[in-house]
Amino acid sequence: MKNTSKSPHQDQNIFSKGFPQKAFANYPFSFYSGNLLIFLFAGILFNLSPSQQTIPTIEKIHIDSLPESSFEKRLQNHCSFRGPLGTGGSIHKNLPVEWNAEEGKNLLWKVPLEKIGYNSPIIWEDRLFLSSSDSIEKMIHCFNRHTGDLLWEKNIDNVEGSPKDFNANAIIFGLSLPTLTTDGKRLYGIFASGDLISLDLDGNQVWSRNLGIPDNQYGHGSSLIWWEEKLYIQYDTNTGGILYAINSSTGEILWQTERKNLHSGWSSPILASIGGEYQLVLSANPYVAGYDLENGKMLWSVDCMSGELATSLAAGGDLIFAGNEYAKLVAISPKDSAKIIWEDFEHLPEAASPVFSEGLLYVATRTGYIVCYDAQTGEKYWEYESDDGFFSSPFVADGKLYALDFLGTMFIFNTGKEMDFIGKALLGENVAATPACADGRIYIRSYNHLYCFGNE
């Protein structure tokens, strides 16, 4: 742990700069994909009856615009990238704070993964889903989350309108960058080629379509998220962007909103409560913007980002938090006339998204820092320097901050203004994906395996 002086970052290509200044410099280019670009982490849930559940302290979530039973069901399932709202918060408790995969400590099961994939696992009740690919096949897999048994896998080879001339070998990060999502009725996946598919939870195809080959060098990388009967897709390319709302039952495009004057990116949308009403909030170069969930109307926007944007957003206290290593870290107040209320240039995330909890903002960086800020003022309370960089996004659950570095070491802290370091937990494999949580367990996807850890 050490203090560092303020050092603004130049706007530059994240891939031309190379890997983190610590262990990353010696790793092959392919490691950087996936969650690095979709990014990562997890909110999850616990199997208590509704009477036993409490409103999460990650963000004082408002449920004005969604029936309570439906919202509680959502919170009980890690159904999207970085959790049920896409913001890195979890209501789950009794998660482990120590494990060692090589020694088998608190390791409940471990299964090999045959194909490449950097997306994060998602969970609905007893099932865990993820996708993978090679230059020929795109696959979706379903596991029993209690045992690690493979329940089914589906080769995604029958997508309506899928381009026959798409060069999968040219996509250096593979076809399965984006994380899946599920509403408990159907499973939804999208791939780098723009292929979009819906399956039932037993792996049977419901509908499919192609959104057009994305005009960027890495393929589509933004993860999916849903609200009520709509599936939302942030489809940003070099020729501009489109926000799609898809009928989750039929695959029909309900509406699409043009996103003008932006550059390609791989940030994923989040659901954020602003003034008691939920919005869909997107980050891109150059602007962060909020959209009406029903009709796609842009509600506000703030120009504040630059570079190739991989990080997603954090939200809490009626504020939105955005950051990129080649721009700055900002807190945005979207109410009334949207404006930046503070900004910082010292510790900036490159792929790991920030997370908000109880008035505090936490950031993990490519250069190995974990930093805590006052969410309202931007005052830095503490920083911790690790031995490696972070691409997996940090998450908060049960009053603890979890941050997983590229080498597979999880750093665990009690949340708060004073640094309270609990300890490290060891995986022993490289990780870019963000973990998922459910019922006292943490699920981690490494390059070659899927792990489940819990208190034995």
**Domains within the chain, CATH numbers bracketed:** 14-454 (2.130.10.10)
Q: Round to whole Å and give the CA distance between 68 and 299.
A: 25
pLDDT of residue 169: 60
CB 398 within 8 A of CB 415: no
Q: Round to whole Å and give the CA distance between 306 and 302.
A: 12
pLDDT in tens, 179-214: 999 999 999 999 999 999 999 999 999 999 999 988
The 420-426 sheet, strands edge to edge: 89-90, 395-397, 400-404, 409-414, 420-426
pLDDT of residue 23: 40
pLDDT of residue 270: 98
Q: Are strands 89-90 and 395-397 parallel, antiparallel or unpaired?
A: parallel
What single string gives the DSSP state of each residue in 35-79? GGTS------B----GGG----SSS----TTS-HHHHHHHHTS--
CB 422 within 8 A of CB 401: no
Q: Round to whole Å and give the CA distance between 272 and 281.
A: 7
pLDDT of residue 240: 84
The DSSP output letter for 162 is: -
Return the H-helix or E-strand segment holding 14: helix 14-17
Phi-psi region of 125 (alpha: psi -120 to 50; beta: other; left: phi over 0): left
CA distances from 182 to 40, 244, 337 (A): 16, 17, 34
Burial class (CB in 10 A: 0-12, 13-18, 19+), 439: buried
pLDDT of residue 8: 31
The 270-274 sheet, strands edge to edge: 270-274, 277-283, 287-291, 298-303
The DSSP output letter for 16 is: H
Model-level pTM? Answer: 0.86
Q: Which among 343, 352, 345, 401 is positioned nearest to 372, based on CA atoms?
A: 401
Q: Round to whole Å and give the CA distance between 366 and 428.
A: 19
**CB under 8 A, 24+ apart: contacts of 323-328:** 323/348, 323/349, 323/354, 323/363, 324/285, 324/348, 324/349, 324/350, 325/9, 325/14, 325/349, 325/350, 325/365, 325/366, 326/9, 326/10, 326/11, 326/12, 326/14, 327/9, 327/11, 327/285, 328/8, 328/304
pLDDT of residue 172: 67
CB 340 within 8 A of CB 332: yes
Count the residues in the chain: 456
Q: Are strands 409-414 and 420-426 parallel, antiparallel or unpaired?
A: antiparallel
Positions in the chain whose pLDDT score sits under 70: 1-69, 167-172
Query: What does residue 440 show for φ and ψ, rounded to 5 degrees?
Result: 75, 15
SS3 449: strand
